[in-house]
Amino acid sequence: MENYAIHWFRRDLRIGGNLALAQAWKDFDGKVLGIFCFDKKFLSRSDFSINRFQLFLNRLKELKFELQAAGGDLLVLDVGPKEAFQKLFQELDHLPKLISFNRDYEPFARKRDQNLTVLFQQFGIEVKTFRDHLLLEPHELSKDGPDNEGYQVFTPFSRKWNKLIELKEYAQRISYQKQGLSLLKEQSQNNFRPLFNLTWKILFKNKKDPPDDCLEIYIAKNLKRVTVEIPDVSAKSLYQSLESFKKKISDYQEARDIPSLLGTSRFSLLLKNGSLTTSQIIQHLNLHPYEKATTSPQKFLSEIIWREFYYHILFRHPRVEHESFNLKYKDINWENNKTFFEAWKNGMTGFPIVDAGMRELKQTGWMHNRVRMIVASFLTKDLLIDWKWGETYFMEALLDGDLAPNNGGWQWAASTGCDPQPYFRIFNPWSQSLKFDPEGLYIKKFIPELKDVPAKSLHEPLTVKNYPKPIVDHSMQRLKALKLYKT
């Protein structure tokens, strides 16, 4: 049999614009097979989300369809990658010449990839890895100087990031996605070119028992436990999401903070599993580097850079996964009132903007970004509960839960992270709701008990049947929070 390659999919669930897959396809004349392995250690994490897993499974199913429609294949195995590859290599008469995969930057993934690379090389298989879900990798962006020191403040990081992507080497990473986007557009119209010419069935044609594909079993089993509606992640939907946001990006700067408007992109749902990448989004929306984010497109690009910033922080300081970046606040004596925490989770705090956000999360698996900041500030600085409790719950509930940006966002709100809001900046939930939801449209959408309450009454303590009174006094809790951080 001729030489072939295997591409190991992880968080790059797409064909178009997938450089590792494209390079293997080129080097082996279309003879490249896809594989995905369910790692039990990952599935047993404390922040595992049933709903987010279903979104991932649905996208994995779409990817398998897209590969097979293009003449290729995807094998999904119900075992961790080390055991999966060892067993696969034992069963194959002809080992792959190459295994390719795209790099990941989370601590767990980095350790896994190092171990698997050693395993592949022990079998005499070449390994090639590529950059994918970050536009600039951590080793590529550092302060000037011999120590390769990373940035800990967003503004200089952003300034350097914008300068680098103007350089030809990095600008090409964006322009490269023209081909990937073109392929995605074709797929969205059910137009599939014959790109691949090898399947797992062909590879195992002389075997009685090829590996069992477990994808449909996982989907059927997990679907029974799903509690929210799972968004469509077909190629058609992916391309439509790009086109839809392209039409409204000009209003982003004004609309992004108003939760009753559909002014945000929701691309984070797709970035998490690699259905889309930042470079594809930047290319499709024709975004350009900036000195100061003064326009809507520039402001949106700055949000993408924030995401990359938090990944750089996690890569260079992996301890932030479990503790405060700012060690000064590592051992804050949080009150951690469990009754308050349950009220916060269930949207029953008596603060309408907070409760609307938490109910939106529970009902849909999503929360508007402005409201995420409000509820995080409220948990840490009004209820005086450890930010790690909120971070974990978000990862359990969010369809777009992603370790680096979720951790970074929570530490920003709690003033324990790198370049956070100052600890003495404490959101007033009443003034926040008045400013960003003055007519109460968002609040009333998710709190039906308040549908008949006049809008002006929603931004101050109120007494309504079937709706709780405020569980704390914001002014008093603010003073307690200031004292807590000072000591």
3-class SS of residue 257: coil
Using pLDDT thresholds of 50, 70 and 90, give the confidence band for residue 107.
Answer: very high
Q: What are phi and psi of 196, to 5 degrees?
A: -110, 160
Average pLDDT over residues 370-383: 98
Among 210-219, 220-229, 308-317, the least confident range: 210-219
Element at 7 (helix H, strand E): strand 5-8
Q: Is the pLDDT of residue 150 over 70?
A: yes
Q: Is the pLDDT of residue 162 over 80?
A: yes
Catalytic residue among 161, 366, 410, 412: 410
Cβ neighbours of residue 142 closer than 8 Å, sequence gap 6 or more:
148, 149, 150, 151
Q: Is the pLDDT of residue 69 over 70?
A: yes
- Quick one: pLDDT at residue 209? 67
Catalytic residue among 137, 303, 323, 449: 303
Taking alpha carbons only, the member of 257, 443, 485 closest to residue 352 is: 443
- Quick one: pLDDT at residue 43? 80
**Cα dihedral 241→246→247→253 (10° resolution):** 110
Is 306 an active-site residue? yes
Radius of gyration of the chain (CA): 24
3-class SS of residue 129: strand
- Quick one: pLDDT at residue 482? 96
Catalytic residue among 197, 337, 369, 428: 369
Q: Is the pLDDT of residue 1 over 90?
A: no
- Quick one: pLDDT at residue 212? 82
pLDDT digits (tens, 9 = 90+) for 131-145: 999 999 999 999 988
Using pLDDT thresholds of 50, 70 and 90, give the confidence band for residue 45.
Answer: confident
Q: Which CATH superfamily is domain 327-486 in?
A: DNA Cyclobutane Dipyrimidine Photolyase, subunit A, domain 3 (1.10.579.10)
Catalytic residue among 306, 344, 366, 412: 306
pLDDT digits (tens, 9 = 90+) for 181-202: 999 999 999 999 999 999 999 9
Is 387 an active-site residue? yes
Is 369 an active-site residue? yes
Catalytic residue among 140, 334, 396, 428: 334
- Quick one: pLDDT at residue 41? 79
pLDDT digits (tens, 9 = 90+) for 115-134: 999 999 999 999 999 999 99
pLDDT digits (tens, 9 = 90+) for 349-358: 999 999 999 9
Q: How does the average pLDDT of the chain come out, rounded?
A: 96
Q: Bigger pLDDT: 41 or 275? A: 275
The DSSP result for 372-434, as a single string, is HHHHHHIIIIIS---HHHHHHHHHHH-TT--HHHHHHHHHHHHT-SSS---TT----HHHHHH
Element at 139 (helix H, strand E): none
Among 140-149, 308-317, 368-377, 446-455, the least confident range: 140-149
Measure the CA–CA gap between 73 and 75, rounded to whole angstroms: 7
- Quick one: pLDDT at residue 469? 97
Is 243 an active-site residue? no
- Quick one: pLDDT at residue 34? 98
pLDDT digits (tens, 9 = 90+) for 12-34: 999 999 999 999 999 999 999 99
Is 366 an active-site residue? no
Is 430 an active-site residue? no
**Using an 8 Å Cβ cutoff, are 453 and 464 in contact?**
yes
- Quick one: pLDDT at residue 194? 96
- Quick one: pLDDT at residue 208? 62
- Quick one: pLDDT at residue 17? 97
Structure tokens at 218: 């996982």
pLDDT digits (tens, 9 = 90+) for 289-333: 999 999 999 999 999 999 999 999 999 999 999 999 999 999 999
Q: Is the pLDDT of residue 242 over 90?
A: yes
